[in-house]
Amino acid sequence: MYDTVDSFRKAWSSPGFEKLEKMQAGPWTTGDRTGDPLRLDTLPGPVEVNPHARYAVDIKNKYIKWMDFEFYLGVSPATGVSLREVRYKGERIIFELGTSSWATSARH
């Protein structure tokens, strides 16, 4: 590796420095499903069983209220589960909380 940006630039400009071709996008660079759906993907989601629970779920907006917490739930094949706009007693305490993969961190 290179100790400084200047040493990298010097190597880059020198004859014989092997420059690789830019990677081209392909089907592996998207989060689109390929192949048959998984066995449970076609089944309906779980239903609320306990009518006295201390939570509420807005399925359309993916919004959850639980005790004094409320947040939006997101799920992505690329990033996994994330919670957004996490509030406690009405005050936002977290903007976004979630897992991350190399694919998402490499974009930023």
Say if 9 falls within a structural domain. no
Tell me the residue range of the domain where 64 lies.
53-99
From residue 100, alpha-carbon distances to 10, 29, 81 in Å are 34, 16, 9
Say if 17 falls within a structural domain. no
CB atoms within 10 A of CB 57: 16
Say if 107 falls within a structural domain. no
Q: What is the pLDDT of residue 104?
A: 45
What string of DSSP letters covers the chain? --SSHHHHHHHHHSTT---PPPPPP-GGGS----SSPPTTTTSPPP----TT-SEEEETTTTEEEETTEEEEEEEETTTEEEEEEEEETTEEEEEEEE---HHHHHH-
Sequence letter at residue 67? M
Say if 11 falls within a structural domain. no
Say if 58 falls within a structural domain. yes
Query: How many independent structural domains does the chain possess?
Result: 1
pTM over 0.95: no
Say if 18 falls within a structural domain. no
The string of pLDDT tens digits covering residues 91-104 is: 999 998 888 655 44
Q: Which among 81, 85, 87, 73 has a CA at the least distance from the CA of 101?
A: 81
Say if 71 falls within a structural domain. yes
The string of pLDDT tens digits covering residues 24-37 is: 888 777 777 778 88
